[in-house]
Amino acid sequence: VLKLQLGQLTRLNKGKLLDEQETLSASKAELENLLNVDTAVRSLMIKEFNENKRKFGVPRRTQIQPEEGELEDIDLVKNSRSVIVVTRGGY
């Protein structure tokens, strides 16, 4: 390395920098695609969910059985008088 001339060192670094620039520009294009295209985000999410399911997913070992007298979602809503106001603008 000590015998290499400055120009040779510069060319070596230039090649590494060009490779890094290509990698970063490809990454930038992929991220911009995710920002602009909803279906790309959804497909990436599905892909990552499936990978996590494959990696960490185990079948459920217990069964969830409903009990008699179990509360429903509607049972948790408090019965009280309410006033709903809708403006002309729809708010």
Tens of pLDDT, residue by residue over 30-60, are: 999 999 999 999 999 999 999 999 999 898 8
Report residue 6's pLDDT band, with 50, 70 and 90 as the boundaries.
low
DSSP the chain: -TTS-HHHHHHHHHHHHHHHHHHHHHHHHHHHHHHH-HHHHHHHHHHHHHHHHHHH-----S---PPTTPPPGGGGS----------TT--
pTM higher than the cut 0.75: no
Q: Is 11's pLDDT higher than 80?
A: no
Band (pLDDT 50/70/90 cuts) for residue 70 is confident
How many of the other CB atoms lie within 10 Å of CB of 76?
Answer: 7
Backbone angles phi, psi at 67, to 5 degrees: -95, 155
